[in-house]
Structure formats: C-alpha cells, structure tokens
Structure 1
C-alpha cells in the first residue's frame, strides 16, 4: 500500500480500510488520490470492472469533504440506472455511517419522506439519475442555490453509457444549467470500464468548463482472459421451412456426417493451445475457455444442439447469458428451463431486461449474489453495468455482440476476485436447403465475433463516441425544460442560454429561430404582452407529464399480470388465448383491458412466442473492415471450437473462389447483383438511399434488399453491374450536397432505419431541420464517395 497516499486519507476511511482487511490500495485508487489531492483537474478513471474505481473516486473526495465540509450538497453522483444507485447507496452508507456524512439517493422509487429530509437539510452525497435531476431543475428551481450552492464534485458513473447519446447530452446540459446556481465550478470525475480514445471522453467530461482532465494510465497487470467461440446450424421449424424463400437466410456449407458432427461438438470441451496478446498499457493472456471447462456432457444431435451446448455449459456455474434483443433472452431462458425439466435438474434460470418487472429483476440479482449453487440469468444491456451481483463465473453470448464496447462490458462482468474473465460465444446459422446465393454462404455473425475479439486483443480498439452536431430531440427538450424552470424568458435570453451550451454549439441562430416559430404555431410556446416566452397550453401538457423528464423514446407497453402479480411489459397486445413468453416463462392470455393497457394471463407450458418489436443496430465501419480482414486472412484462432473453425474455413474457401473480398460489385446472374460495401451501418443505409433515389429509375430496379451492414442484393431490369457502378460514382461526383434533393419521407426513413426508436420529440421539429440533421449526423457523403470511387466490379458472373 502506498503509505504516502494512505496517510492522507481521512481517519474514518483508514479505519474502514483496516476493518475490511484491505491489504493495499489498488493502483487506480492511488492514482485517483494523487490527482484529486495534488491538482485542480477533472479526473477520468478508466479501468476494468471490479478494479476499485468507485472507491477510487470517493476516498479522496470524502477526505476533502471531512477537512472542509460544504454548506450544501457536496457531491453529486449521476448514474444511468436506479439499480446501480441503490447498489452504490448501500456501499457508501456502510463507509460513511460513522463519519456523519449523509448519503441520499433520489429517483422514482425513493420514498417522498427520504426526499423531504434532503430538502430540509441539503448536505453530503446525492446519488441521482438524469431524469430525477431534470425534475429537480424544473420543479425545485427556487431551491437550487440552497441545495447545490457549495457543490464541490460531480461523479458520473458508466461514462461510456452516456457518451454519444441523448441522455449524455442531457447530463451535459444539466451540469451547465447548474453552474448558474453555484459559487464555483465543481470538479468532475468520470468512471468507465470501457473507453477507447481517452481524448474524446476527456472532452465530453470537461464540456462547458475550462478545467483540464487528468486520466491516469493504470496498469492492471497480467490479465487472463478465457474465450471460446462455437458455431451451430439451427434446424428449421416445419412451418418456417414451408414459407421461407429458397435463397434467403440460408448458408451453403456441406453438412458433416452425423458421426463427424457429434465428434466435433464433443471436442469443443477438449483443451486447445493458448494465445497471448500484449497491449500497450496492460498485458492480457487469452486462452480457450474450454481449457478450464469441466462440462463434458456430449452435445445431442437432436433439433436443439445449440441449446444442449448452452445447457451443459451453464449447468454448474453462475452465469449470465447475454443476447442482443429481449426476445432472444426470453427464448433462451425458456428453452433452457424446458431442457432442465426434461433432464430433472433444478430450475436455476432467470431473465433480466427492461421489460421484466422490478421484482423479477431483483430476484435474479439476489440469486446471483446469495444462492450457494449455480444460477443462469438471460440478459440484455441491463446487466452490462457495474451492479454488484457477486462472484460470477462465466459469461455466454448468443451470436455476435454489436460492438467491441459491448463485448468488453460483458466480458468484464466475470473475472472478479482474482479469477480470469471468461466468455463463451455461440453463433447460430440456419441450416441450408439447396445452394443459396453467394452472400448467404458467409456466416456473418461468426465473422463479426472474431473481428470484435481481434480488434480488442490486437489493437485495443473500442468504438469512439458518436458526435451529434444537430441534437434536435435535445434542443426541443432543453428549450422546454429551461423555460418551465424559469417561468418566462425573453427570446434572446432563452436563445443565448440554450445555444450557449456546448451540446448546441453547431445550431445556428436562424435554425433555432425557426424551431421557436414552429413551437409558437403549435401552442407549445406563447408570447406574453411583454414579448416574453412562456409555455403554451400544449407545451404545458407535455412538460407537466412526468414522462417528460426522460429523453429516451417511450414504448407503448401493456402490463402483463398473472394472479395479481406484475410479470413485466410487452409492446404488442396479443389476442385472448395466445401464449406468450415473459420472464423466461410461458403464459396464456385470458383477458385484455385496452383502456388500462393490461394483459391478464395464467402460467402454462407451451410454445415460445414474444411480443416486442425489433430495433436498429449500429455496427461501426472498423468492425466491418475487421470482418473482411478475417475473411481474407489465413490465420487460425485458438479460441475457435471445431464447428466454428470448420465454418470459417468454408467461408474463406467461398471467398477465395468468388473474389468476394476483392470486388464490391458481384454479378450473380439473372440480373441480380450483390454489393459488398464493407461500410458501417450509417454509410450502408446512406448507400441504400442513393441506390433507391438515383439508380432505380435508370436501371428499372425491381428490388433492393440485403443484410445490414454486410451486403445489398439488387435485382435489375436493365443494365449491368459495371453500368450501375459507373452511374453511382457519377452521382456522387455530381451531387456534393444531398440535402436539397432529400424529401421529407427519405430523411425520416434514414432515421428510422438507424435509430432503435424514433427520438421522443422528433414530431415537434420542423422537417427542414430534420433534413439538415440527417445530412449532419447520418450521412457522410464525402466519406461514402471516397469509398465508392475505389470500388470495382467483377468481370464475370460469380454464380450462386
């Protein structure tokens, strides 16, 4: 332990360290203390999950608070999840109960009596969500000086979850608005386990201040990582087989004989050679997860080989099974629960995502923490955050994660208390019937897994945050929020405050004036006789609804109830008699109340069916480039299981024999073209727009489809692939600015194809600004042009 740093901590903190038998301060804690004690800078802490970041932030901050107690709330802690606040509240309360420094938490589930005590005696540490802070800025505007006047520190947890999002812009705006009520500028501390380019995170953290940011480079030592990737063909359901087109969604790889497949599946548990990768700041040893696996039950060759594999690997561990969508988590857990019932093993399964009721989520978290035996929780992003769920032994991922950042967050949930981080990937692919079209012969999800792993192991690359130039959703929200808190403002004063915030520095006064005129016409705003602005009647309806505080899109949801207990929520109301899956169990719909949006059910056994709509996924261009590199490479990856290794070799064989990775335009025969743009999701959809708008009338294009962001299939009535490419290149040379040519519907279609949900307040924004935001934030015409100009078309038909 660094005696110098330890001796500078407050006595009650030193006592706490001794009582809890800490042998030393961790490196991140030592470095944080040095920055907070010896510099006036903001602090950005980026280190692995369970590395002690939270304590690193609070130990020096609380020491300074003891030395010089603030006259108001001294520390504002902002977190993205209520569960994270509750978790940290208990940890801090234990630390501070003998020091006389109160810890307050404030969100929708906190009792009013607790909030009233804080309002009477503002002091100590306040833990809050952005939504509750927004409410406070509007409804407690007269108390803000008393509550926050002597604020010293702002701690933002899970910084990566805010950056590049509307909630992140909301937090930045809130901190800038708070400055008007403070005596000084509080120092900011950002915490994250997943950051790539530190300079971007530092700029985000310091926005609106002139204070530099210190980011200590903390070595985590030699971290051991266990990885395994396996591939399975999925059998078709009979009804799916009947209605599926013969060339869509299928993979062309010769299936091995049953005996060979059985041997390959069972061999996944055998030991494999280790791979070692060194990083600039920390070494990480990578080995196949199968090296440490004790599950030797052979995989069945029945219709559920993938699920048998997952069942065997979750049977004796505490695991999280991550999926990319809620319906996949539901399907996975319901299937594993059915397998357990067939095998006579205990029901150890839970589901954890935003549509499952809080009681079910809390039961899953409690089981993970306290159950003596194995537990498996199917989850989405809800468990990526640093909620303490005890000693987690294994992470599994169904199909490819959407980003390197997500991979790292999920991997970091295991490997605590000195154990290696361990993650098993299971990639699925539909079993082919016949010979599919060329792009369907490539296992894109498997390649994406490998690309994501390699980008981190070899380059330590993580997606940079998205810079939004025209955050119109937030422009509306903050305009209404500021005016609601102030009551009345002159238009010039309102514009100066709003456009003076860092988030809106790219918005021109003319564009803001257009927004205000639109809101006046819609009665969201009104002009007083003194020419001041106040909320209009329609604006009051929106702002006075508690849903206004949240900036993420709301889903129209129906509450599912069984025996008076809330199970969770679904988006689409099913008909009476239908069976649905929620919280990993099956329910039969007995009755519907459309007015109250209630679905009454009873528990049943039966077929799995989910009721949520899908959403858009963003995959970075660098990840897609990584997929191409994997396809072109001859390298073997030691973490691949037999099925995955074989499937990779088949894909490479197809690629070599078709020039798939050499040309971007491939004639498939019969006037069908395959375009392989090797671009990220944003550029992929921009390219689709150009094809529809400028190429369809010229070449009598009959259909455009594909799989974002990997390939586009074009069925032409006239012309050749070479003709199409030349025309597309000419369009990009002739149209330097697409905005004047973009229709309202085309602009909104681009946003719909990329956003998971339509931004909440988009419907109040004039279309002229929408078109401008699409060109600013969704289409990079210059980058797309540079890419397309280098494309080539295969000289002959590559076939199917």
Structure 2
C-alpha cells in the first residue's frame, strides 16, 4: 500500500503540473490521505475538516485522476451535488482551471444554466456534472432514460457541504436520489462526502449510505492546528413605545436598530466582512440604513444585501466583488453566504440577533480567519429590557443565548442531526417521482427501492401499504389492471408543478422588475398594492403596476 509520502505520485501528471503552477510545495494531510482510498473505489469516504482546508482538491484530484486513466469510458463519470447554486458556480470556475490540461468536460446544471448548454450535454454526456438535488429530481423524472444511458460508467458521487443535508427533508431526498441512481447505473457508485467538522464524526457514517454494509472511511482535518477566536458582544436596549411592537410585526424596525447600523458602519467600513441576519427583511433594512450612512458621510458605499430573493445578476455581482477582494466590501446576508463561495480574506463575521444554531455559528465563523487562523466574531444583540415577562428581562434572553452558544462552540459541541424519522412528506415526493419516471411501478418494487434498500428504512411494509392506500384515496395514485401503480389526476397535477422538485415548501412570489430587468422576488404573503413602497436590494422602491 502506498503511504502518505508517495501518494502524490499516484496523481495524473497534468494535475501534478497544475499543483506546481499553483506554487504548492506540498499537499495538505487530508489531501494526501484521500488519494489512495478514492483511487481504490472500494469504500465510501467522508472528508471532514474546517472551511478552506482543501476538501475540494482532496476529493477531485484523485477522482479526476481515476477517470482520466480510462478515457475510453463514455458518459458522466463524476456527479457533484451541492446545496447551493452559488457554490456550484464557484466550484465550476475552480474545476475549469484544474481540468484545463486534462481536457475533462465540466458542466454546471441548475436553474440558472441556459437550455443551450444543457442540450449540448444531453447530446454528448461526459465528464463532470455539478448540480443541486432539485435539478437532479427534474432529471430523474423527465430524463430517466438519458440518465440510465449516461451513468453506466459513473464512478463517483461527490456531495459538498454534507452536514447541511443531514437530518433534513432535503437530505432524505438526496439519499433516495443516490439510491435511485445506483439502481439506474446498475452498479454501486462510490460516495464521497465533504463536510465541516462534527462533534462526533463516527456517528455520521450511516447517513452517507443508510442501511448498507459498505464500509465508510473517515478522513479528518488536523486537530493540532490551533485557531483563535476573538469575540465582541454589543447589547442595545429596546424600549418600544406603545404600539411599536405592532409595527415590528408589520415589517418596521425599532429606531434602536439605527444604532446597530451606525456601529456596523463604524467598525466594519474599510474591510471585507459578512454580516448575518436571521431574516430577509432585517437584511434589507440594515443594508439600506448603511447605504444612507455612506451617502450622509460622502463616502463610497461598501455595504450590499445578499439573499435568495435577489436576482441571479445582483447576487453574482456581489459574490464576484467579494472574491476579487480589490475593494472593501461588507455583505449583509442571510444564510445564503453561510455555505458556498470561497472568500479568502474576510476580516470578521458579524451577527445581528443570536444565530439559529451552534452549527450555523460554526459554519459562519469558518468564513473568517483563513490566513492567520484568527477569527473575529461580532454580535449585535438588541434586547427588550422592559418586557412584561420579568424573567426574560432579567436574563437578557438573547444575550444569554448568544453567550451559551459561544460556550458550546468552544467545547466543539454542535447540534446532532435527527437519527430516525419517517419523513413522510419526502417519502410522498419520492414515491410520486419514481412513478412519474417509469410511468407505472409495482408496490413491491417501490418499497424495495425507497424503504428496504433506501433511506426510509423504518417504514415497515405494513405502514407503507397504509401509506399507499392513503395516496390512492386522495387520487394521487391509482392501481392499474396489472396491479402496478400509476399517477392519479391529483398526482399528475402535483408532479407537473416545478415546485415539486424541491423537498421543502417554496412560497408563491411576486416578480420585481425595473426597466424590464428582473431584480428579484418577494413572497405573496406580503400584500403589495399600487403606490406601495418597500425595501429591496438595498434601495427603496414604489409599485407602479
């Protein structure tokens, strides 16, 4: 067996040339450790390390070496799955550079990619595809024949930000999709998961291939590396006047949040930072206030919003500015920048109000301190100090929660994913999806694919039969004369809606346009009428039609 001192020699010669051109003197420990097991293709693999620790290269350098060693094999050879389109776009740029000399085609495939580009891949499937679970669901329903033909020589699944999928409906969807693709390809495809660190990394093995005896190897980052965390918590007294709590519900921030914006302007201007908010509304309100402060002080604006409702162009222009690093830039963002694009020089991470979880805080902090291993966290915590709930006032609940989460973070404790769940909503989606793929399927084959050998293993045959009976009563499925199941009228309506591809609920939205250019969307649950004004993309807008 090759040891870590000579595994570098196992890589493709053109990939070694790329490494030399990058000026790397050596591979990182996790990159060395991953080469042999990935080339062997015997076991699944989880590569767990902190953000910016070389996980992408650890997976792709040996995987690309393996597929380039046998170029006569046609079709898709590597399927990369990411939770975010922004991360796919970032990885595409990196992989284009890596594969320049080995001539392996890399194709991003998601909702923002042109139909022409997708058509070219359909005509000649090859190389690496980068996609999301939602786009993969669409392929499984609408292009199942093409998938079967193009995945016969599929070697690897590479799942990025694996921790973001675990224990979620989207995670069960992905587990089911990988099992279905194994079935289509006619062989077991090696699964490689890239993930942030876990408090108990051994406990996550079963999530990668549930209910299987396939061995899963773990490669973890160095525990010797010492990172430093600098923390500042700033509190703000919120003393709402009579009726002001009602205005907060109606999407108006208390006046004390102006001081939060002033402090962000004072501390962060002139450097690159990420400021996380727990809602799109707060993101827009704070970024708008910061832009007003820039105008008032006659300085260039450095503060820009980033969230999922903004148009692709607006999001990508800010992402490009962050990556280039030429100008000081602070993104006021939701979780959209918690994962994803590689930003190398983030001075600090800020959070307005407590983060949603310790795991989320850990992921966000991983975006800073990449060069000197010193991460800076600034927490801006407004508190209602005159609450009618006396205990809540005395505790300063949000400050107490923030301190407790930092304490748990220092102890390397993160919320574990739910171990067992029926996940009936995702089982429903996958049941209809499989039926839609093939036209009709027997109940026995459905159970074996989704439950017996799939992720819904705690669903017994008895429960599954009751489940199918309920679907039949709702006209989601009907039984044919040969006893196989096909979609009912309501099932066809459901599957034909593009929202069906997502395992989570997506709200109905207004599209916002200015000068015939889409700038984003807002949910329909916020009533908008002619002459209404609202904040969006860091600016004020008025509805004209």
Structure 2 length as normaliser, TM-score?
0.92
Residue 130 of structure 1 pairs with residue 130 of structure 2: no
Q: 1:114 to 1:243 in 2, by over 3 A?
A: closer
Conserved 8 A contact 2:325-2:345: no
Residue 320 of structure 1 pairs with residue 274 of structure 2: yes
Separation of aligned partners in 2, 1:511 and 1:184 = 29
Equivalent residue, structure 1, for 2:464? 512
Is the partner of 1:396 in helix, strand or coil? strand
Residue 395 of structure 1 pairs with residue 349 of structure 2: yes
Is the partner of 1:554 in helix, strand or coil? coil
Moved over 6 A (4+): none
Query: 1:541-589: CA deviations, max 9, x gaps?
Result: 2112222111110102112223333232222122333321112222222
Query: 1:491-528: CA deviations, max 9, x gaps?
Result: 33333333224321112323322222222222221222
Is the partner of 1:503 in helix, strand or coil? coil
Separation of aligned partners in 2, 1:147 and 1:213 = 26
Query: 1:654-705: CA deviations, max 9, x gaps?
Result: xxxxxxxxxxxxxxxxxxxxxxxxxxxxxxxxxxxxxxxxxxxxxxxxxxxx
Is the partner of 1:68 in helix, strand or coil? coil
Equivalent residue, structure 2, for 1:43? 45
Equivalent residue, structure 1, for 2:13? 11
**Which ranges of structure 2 fall in alignment gaps of 5 or more residues?**
248-254
How far has the Cα of 1:490 moved from its partner? 2.6
Q: 2:512 aligns with which of 525, 541, 560?
A: 560
How far has the Cα of 1:452 moved from its partner? 1.3
Equivalent residue, structure 1, for 2:251? none
Conserved 8 A contact 2:309-2:522: yes
Residue 197 of structure 1 pairs with residue 205 of structure 2: no
Equivalent residue, structure 2, for 1:441? 394
1:22-101 map, 5 Å: 22-37=24-39, 40-69=42-71, 70-101=73-104
Equivalent residue, structure 2, for 1:375? 329
Q: 1:108 aligns with which of 101, 111, 117?
A: 111
Residue 585 of structure 1 pairs with residue 539 of structure 2: yes
Separation of aligned partners in 1, 2:142 and 2:26 = 45
How far has the Cα of 1:181 moved from its partner? 2.4
Q: 1:316 to 1:475 in 2, by over 3 A?
A: same
How far has the Cα of 1:343 moved from its partner? 1.9
Conserved 8 A contact 1:194-1:409: no
1:136-155 map, 5 Å: 136-155=139-158
Residue 478 of structure 1 pairs with residue 481 of structure 2: no
Name whichever of 45-54 and 530-539 sits farther off. Answer: 530-539
Separation of aligned partners in 2, 1:143 and 1:85 = 22
Residue 451 of structure 1 pairs with residue 404 of structure 2: yes
Residue 498 of structure 1 pairs with residue 450 of structure 2: yes
Conserved 8 A contact 1:176-1:208: no
Alignment RMSD: 2.3
Residue 175 of structure 1 pairs with residue 178 of structure 2: yes
Conserved 8 A contact 1:232-1:428: yes
Query: 1:313-367: CA deviations, max 9, x gaps?
Result: 1111111101112112112111212222222222111111111222211121122
Q: 1:560 to 1:512 in 2, by over 3 A?
A: same
How far has the Cα of 1:242 moved from its partner? 8.7
Separation of aligned partners in 1, 2:363 and 2:275 = 13
1:146-295 map, 5 Å: 146-219=149-222, 221-236=224-239, 238=241, 240=243
Separation of aligned partners in 2, 1:219 and 1:303 = 41
Q: 1:230 to 1:496 in 2, by over 3 A?
A: closer
How far has the Cα of 1:390 moved from its partner? 4.1
1:698-737 map, 5 Å: none
Q: 1:349 to 1:531 in 2, by over 3 A?
A: same
Equivalent residue, structure 2, for 1:464? 416
Separation of aligned partners in 1, 2:378 and 2:239 = 24
Separation of aligned partners in 2, 1:315 and 1:449 = 24
Q: 1:110 to 1:306 in 2, by over 3 A?
A: closer
Conserved 8 A contact 1:366-1:389: no
Separation of aligned partners in 2, 1:378 and 1:398 = 10
Separation of aligned partners in 2, 1:67 and 1:564 = 49
Separation of aligned partners in 1, 2:383 and 2:483 = 63
Q: 1:302 to 1:76 in 2, by over 3 A?
A: closer
**Which ranges of structure 1 fall in alignment gaps of 5 or more residues?**
245-300, 592-800
The higher relative CO (CA closer than 8 Å, separation ≥ 6) is in 2
Q: 1:117 to 1:574 in 2, by over 3 A?
A: closer
Separation of aligned partners in 1, 2:433 and 2:529 = 40
Conserved 8 A contact 2:59-2:192: yes
Conserved 8 A contact 2:284-2:538: yes
Query: 1:214-271: CA deviations, max 9, x gaps?
Result: 1123316433333223232244465645979xxxxxxxxxxxxxxxxxxxxxxxxxxx
Structure 1 length as normaliser, TM-score?
0.64
Conserved 8 A contact 1:49-1:386: no
Conserved 8 A contact 2:478-2:486: yes
Q: 1:535 aligns with which of 475, 487, 511?
A: 487
How far has the Cα of 1:52 moved from its partner? 0.7
Separation of aligned partners in 2, 1:562 and 1:118 = 34
Q: 1:123 to 1:28 in 2, by over 3 A?
A: same
Aligned length: 533
Residue 117 of structure 1 pairs with residue 120 of structure 2: yes
Residue 357 of structure 1 pairs with residue 307 of structure 2: no
Query: 1:166-187: CA deviations, max 9, x gaps?
Result: 1111111011111222243121
Is the partner of 1:569 in helix, strand or coil? strand
Equivalent residue, structure 1, for 2:250? none
Conserved 8 A contact 2:48-2:194: yes
Larger C-alpha radius of gyration, 1 or 2?
1
Conserved 8 A contact 1:232-1:305: no
How far has the Cα of 1:15 moved from its partner? 0.5
Equivalent residue, structure 2, for 1:333? 287
Conserved 8 A contact 1:229-1:427: no
